[in-house]
Chains A and B, each alone.
Chain A
């Protein structure tokens, strides 16, 4: 606890951020962040998905260069104007994100010294490189040889090698974004121990994690972000888990929700029933989705929430036949079992459709026109022995364009040139044309304007009024609360809590997502 005591003596901050604002076209990601980090301090950043944490980090480590944001940044008392990542690195800031920046085919030692290899004349000084790398690894208590190719390392060791590499650059500030998301308990312990050692040696650290126990155990101070602004800054000694959750929630509504009719009677037979589902990413891997059970009735909207990486998208993709290997459990649609081996075609034929969160990558053929995309999943309806019935297809496309109010001059307009909202409507039209009974929507309003959001909410209402069951995954708690009849919160691949409308409160939902159902 000596480091905490030292922290309370308040040495002058090493990094100071004043009123940082960052705008993207159509969105304000940061609106007034105030923040500082002292040398030898572990400073935790908390906040919901989309609170602005990633934007803040990208700004600190030079990915968003000076001039692209407002506000001031000072490092070691001097104004800092990073033009790029290299400037930030030279100033002593190193960020380790969830996407690894290691070269898989090179050895651990080569990765640690990538781009700054010790030289003798014009040749690389291999003996020195290996000796120094071995020294750094030993200091970290990492039992790996510097000559091991990085591709042979597990995720945990890769993470630690990245940290070693950052320290090899004599960084004064380490930024760790969800470093423990993929680590085993033992690897977490090694990481924690090393971070505490670095703190004693005077290295500062910004630590981002959704695991609040970890944050409380490790951090000296905690700053909470919400809607792009700092809303609380606490000394770790004063903080409690409910005390952290409270400022995190309470995000503003960005759209009005249409009124929902009363939910269907509880004795109505479910349209989709999922029982004890266990799914692994691939054969032989441990289960990622664990013992999931839930159901959706006809006319009902079930929300699926959870933090990034909780398994929301994987769950929807698995139900649709597009992800993972089922280890146990069953999925029933209107009483009929959906076989675990079926693919998307079988799901569509059974009446279950998916609208993916990434419409440009998974939802659309961007180079083709609106009509091509709308009818793509329903071509069987227009097939004849002498070819597709194109006039009938044209009319069906037109009906969906009108019903969804897709704003395009004609069906012959290329989909890639439409706005986000209209692209999303084309994906919706494509899946709805197949006549589904269960509709899975993954982040259906991501990146679209307020008007189109409202239209999509209304469409969900129309679909359920027609007897369909809808599953909505959303990172926005207000959206889940405004749109759904019931909500299931996922936590690390399992159900963290299930709520009916009377129990909806942002605090309770977020606590369930954090695995803290008892805290709220």
Chain B
């Protein structure tokens, strides 16, 4: 098992590369700028929701209601804009606030009244679905009036020009370099052993390559999609929260052993409610982007997205019992799911087979995780 445990971090990137290579060979258009841009938009929508789900699962809870919630919040904002003539920022703002409030309430019911999260959010799934269909009246509600653009419709139709995209990427790389240099200096000041300088440079170059690839790929289409920037912001925030704050430590502690967390002085209800509130915020953001992506709110928006979000976390090595998982894992898990779906759509695989393939990959990933050693957080 030694060899398999040292190879473990490479298993998911290798699986991803294999899937990508297969699609690229089967259909050359897969690597085209247009398709990759589309893949990036679809990926950032799933991954944003999965990052919200990640915090909930870390505490050992689950949220089945997010798919319906995505439809509901997106639909609500669309109705406000199209039927009631609200300005897009006001409609989005109200949707966001309502989502955060609703998810905080569900979190409070789960942790204070001790109703299992599976039940509360299963109820949420049904209630939100019903409310959603009621407010959009089972019809199609565009996200803007006439042909005019607004903030809502621009969420997935706005592309950052390549120059600006390259600028943002360069700023991100510089920021990352500065942060890692400062962390290094602080460790040195504390007299702690340092990582080899060459290795740190290699890691930074790899990150720079990954970040720089985005504007480069998008250059031949329309530019960098806005939703990719949203995902970048959310991923940085979740990374910071889980790795560098008390809140993040408490999430891992509660998921690892809730009774011990209580006796260690952690306010479990506050932390769990906060995790659900964050989930609500991600439901709102995803609701807006996914509705904008389809151009209008229709009754099928958000269908089964909760399962994609949970699958991304699990494939990425997050334990459903809580207390174990990482942001990078979730991002990779979501990328595997998004690539699979995009490639199969491109190859015109029939929808019934697409479902079966996604289910098989989920089962396979978890089996491999159980079989080839435990993923340590």
Contacts of A372 in B (CB 8 A): 249, 252-253
- A-contacting 9-mer, from B183-191, B219-227, B328-336, B342-350: B183-191
Q: Among the listed B240, B264, B323, B324, which residue makes an inter-chain contact with A376, where contact means beta carbons less than 8 Å apart? A: B264
A228-240 vs B, CB cutoff 8 Å, 1 = contact: the mask equals: 0000000000000
A368 and B252 contact, CB distance less than 8 A:
yes
Nearest to B243 among chain A residues (CB) is A387
Interface centre among B240, B252, B263, B267 (most CB of A within 10 A): B263
In the complex with contacts A354-B263, A368-B377, A379-B249 CB distance below 8 A? yes
- Cβ-defined contact, A344 with B263, below 8 A: yes
A366 touching B263, Cβ below 8 Å: no
Q: Is there a chain A Cβ closer than 8 Å to B192's Cβ? A: yes
In the bound complex, residues from chain A placing their C-beta under 8 Å from that of B265 are 344-345, 347-349, 377, 434
For residues 351 through 397 of chain A, which have their beta carbon under 8 Å from a beta carbon of chain B?
Answer: 354, 356, 361-368, 372, 376-377, 379-380, 383, 386-392, 394-395
Complex: how many Å from CA A117 to CA B259? 40
Contacting residues, chain B, for A207 (C-beta < 8 A): none
Inside 8 A of B267's CB, which chain A residues have their CB? 343, 345
Give 1 or 0 for each of A323-354: 1 = CB within 8 Å of chain B CB. 00000000000000000000111011100001
In the bound assembly, the distance between CA atoms of A348 and B261 in angstroms comes to 13
Contacts of B260 in A (CB 8 A): 361-365
- Contact B377–A367 (Cβ < 8 Å): yes
User: Who on chain A is nearest to B187 by CB?
Assistant: A391
Q: Which residues of chain B have C-beta atoms less than 8 A from A379's C-beta?
A: 246, 249
Residues of B within 8 A of A395 (CB): 190-192
Is B32 part of the contact surface with A, judged by Cβ < 8 Å?
Answer: no
A residues near B189, Cβ cutoff 8 Å: 391
> A376 near B259 (CB under 8 angstroms)?
no
Cβ–Cβ < 8 Å partners of B324 in chain A:
367
Say yes or no: B244 contacts A387, CB within 8 Å. yes
Task: Tell me the complex Cα distance, A386–B175, Å.
Answer: 14
Q: Are B256 and A368 in touch, CB under 8 angstroms?
A: yes
Q: How far is the CA of A390 from the CA of B253 in the complex (A)?
A: 17
Q: In whole angstroms, what is the CA distance A354 to B267 when docked? A: 16
Residues from chain B with Cβ under 8 Å of A349 in the complex: 265
**A386 CB contacts on chain B under 8 angstroms:** 244
Q: Is A322 an interface residue (CB 8 A)?
A: yes
Q: How far is the CB of A355 from chain B (nearest CB, A)?
A: 10
Q: Would you call A365 and B190 a contact (CB within 8 A)?
A: no
Contact across chains for B256 and A367 when beta carbons are under 8 A apart: yes
For B, the interface residue count at a CB cutoff of 8 angstroms equals 29
Interface residue A320 (Cβ < 8 Å from any Cβ of B): yes
What residues on A are CB-neighbors of B259 within 8 Å? 361-362
The answer, yes or no, to whether A491 is at the interface (CB within 8 Å) is no
Check if B246 sits within 8 Å of A366, measured CB to CB: no
Measured between alpha carbons, how far is A379 from B191 in the docked complex, in Å? Answer: 21
B6 an interface residue at 8 Å Cβ cutoff?
Answer: no
Contact in complex: B263, A414 (CB < 8 Å): no
A372 to B191, CA, bound (A): 20
User: Does B275 reach chain A (CB closer than 8 Å)?
Assistant: no
Chain A nearest CB from B273 CB (Å) reads: 16
Q: Say yes or no for A318: interface residue by CB 8 A criterion.
A: no
Whether B264 contacts A344 by the Cβ 8 Å rule is yes
Interface of chain B, main secondary structure: helix
- Chain A hits for B240, CB < 8 A: 387
A430 within 8 A of B: yes
Q: B245 on the interface (CB 8 Å rule)?
A: yes
Structural contact, A367 and B323, CB atoms closer than 8 A? yes
Q: Tally chain A residues at the interface, Cβ within 8 Å.
A: 36
Interface residues of B in 179-221 (CB under 8 A from A): 183, 186-187, 189-192
- In the assembled complex, the CB of A174 is this many whole angstroms from the nearest CB of chain B, namely 35
- By a CB distance below 8 angstroms, the chain B residues around A344 are 262-265
Contact with A along B136-168 (1 / 0, CB 8 A): 000000000000000000000000000000000
Q: How far is the CA of A376 from the CA of B261 in the complex (A)?
A: 9
In the complex, whether B300 has a CB less than 8 A from a CB of chain A is: no
Which residues of A sit under 8 angstroms from B376, Cβ to Cβ? Answer: 414
Q: A380-B246, A391-B187, A391-B189 are in contact. Are A368 and B262 (CB under 8 A)?
A: no
Which of these, B190, B252, B257, B262, contacts A322 with CB under 8 Å? B262
Beta-carbon nearest neighbor of A391 in chain B? B190
Q: In the bound complex, do residue A362 and residue B263 qualify as a contact, i.e. CB atoms below 8 Å apart?
A: yes
Report B117-145 CB contacts with A as 1/0, cut-off 8 Å: 00000000000000000000000000000
Q: How far is the CA of A386 from the CA of B190 in the complex (A)?
A: 18
Once bound together, how far apart are the Cα atoms of A380 and B264, in whole Å?
13
B257 contacts A366, C-beta separation under 8 Å: yes
Set of chain A residues within 8 Å of B252, measured between Cβ atoms: 365, 368, 372
Interface string of A50-87 (1 = CB under 8 A from B): 00000000000000000000000000000000000000
Q: Which residues of A contact B261 (CB under 8 A)?
A: 365
B266 within 8 A of A: yes
Q: In the complex, are the beta carbons of A383 and B246 less than 8 A apart?
A: yes
Residues of A contacting B244 with CB < 8 Å? 386-388, 390
Compute how far the CA of A343 lies from the CA of B187 in the bound complex, rounded to whole angstroms: 36
Q: Which of A343, A354, A394 contacts B190 (CB 8 A)?
A: A394
Which chain A residue has the least Cβ–Cβ distance from B189? A391
Question: Which of these, A343, A348, A364, A390, contacts B257 with CB under 8 Å?
Answer: A364
In the complex, which residues of chain B have a beta carbon less than 8 angstroms from the beta carbon of A414?
Answer: 376
Q: Which residues of A contact B323 (CB under 8 A)?
A: 365, 367-368
Q: Is the CB of B192 within 8 A of A365?
A: no
**Counting chain B CB atoms within 10 Å of each CB, which of A363, A364, A365 scores highest?**
A365
Q: In the complex, are the beta carbons of B263 and A365 less than 8 A apart? A: no
**B249:A376 contact, CB within 8 angstroms:** yes
In the complex, residue of chain A having the shortest beta-carbon distance to the beta carbon of B185: A391
Residues of A within 8 A of B253 (CB): 365, 368, 372, 376
In the complex, which residues of chain B have a beta carbon less than 8 angstroms from the beta carbon of A362?
Answer: 259-260, 263
Residues in A with CB closer than 8 Å to B190 are 391-392, 394-395
Q: How far is the CA of A356 from the CA of B265 in the complex (A)?
A: 13
Give the CA-CA distance A348 to B14 in the complex, in Å. 47
Q: Could you tell me if B263 and A430 are in contact, using CB atoms closer than 8 angstroms? A: no
For the complex formed, measure the closest distance between the CB of A316 and the CB atoms of chain B, giving whole angstroms: 11
A320 to B263, CA, bound (A): 9
Chain B residues with Cβ below 8 Å from A392 are 190
CB distance from A421 to the nearest CB of B (A): 18
Chain B residue with Cβ nearest A387 = B244
Closest to B241 in A: A387
Q: Which of B257, B264, B267, B377 has the most CB of A within 10 A?
A: B264
A414 to B375, CA, bound (A): 13
Question: Residue on B with the closest CB to A434?
Answer: B265
Q: Indicate if the CB atoms of B263 and A356 lie closer than 8 Å.
A: yes
Beta-carbon contact of A394 and B192 below 8 Å: yes
Question: Closest A-chain residue to B267, C-beta based?
Answer: A345
Most buried by B among A361, A366, A368, A386: A368
* A368–B248 alpha-carbon span in the complex (Å): 13
Chain B positions 229-280 with a Cβ under 8 Å from a chain A Cβ: 240, 244-246, 249, 252-253, 256-257, 259-267
Contacts of B15-39 to chain A: CB distance below 8 A: none
Q: Measured between C-beta atoms, what is the minimum distance from A202 to chain B in Å? A: 47
CB distance from B134 to the nearest CB of A (A): 39
Q: CA separation between A368 and B252, bound complex, in Å?
A: 8
Taking the nearest CB of chain B, how far is it from the CB of A314, in angstroms?
14
When distances are taken between beta carbons in the complex, the residues of chain A under 8 Å from B262 are: 322, 343-344
28 A-B residue pairs with CB within 8 Å: A320-B263, A343-B262, A344-B263, A347-B265, A354-B263, A361-B259, A362-B259, A362-B263, A363-B260, A363-B263, A364-B260, A365-B256, A365-B257, A366-B256, A366-B257, A367-B256, A368-B252, A368-B253, A376-B264, A379-B246, A383-B245, A387-B240, A387-B245, A388-B245, A388-B246, A390-B244, A392-B190, A430-B264
Which 3 pairs of residues, A with B, have the shortest CB-CB distance?
Answer: A387-B244, A391-B190, A365-B256
Which A residues are within 8 Å of any B CB, using their own CB? Answer: 320, 322, 343-345, 347-349, 354, 356, 361-368, 372, 376-377, 379-380, 383, 386-392, 394-395, 414, 430, 434
Additional A-B contacts beyond A391-B186, A392-B190 (12; CB < 8 A): A322-B263, A344-B263, A344-B264, A344-B265, A361-B257, A362-B263, A372-B253, A379-B249, A380-B246, A383-B246, A388-B249, A391-B190
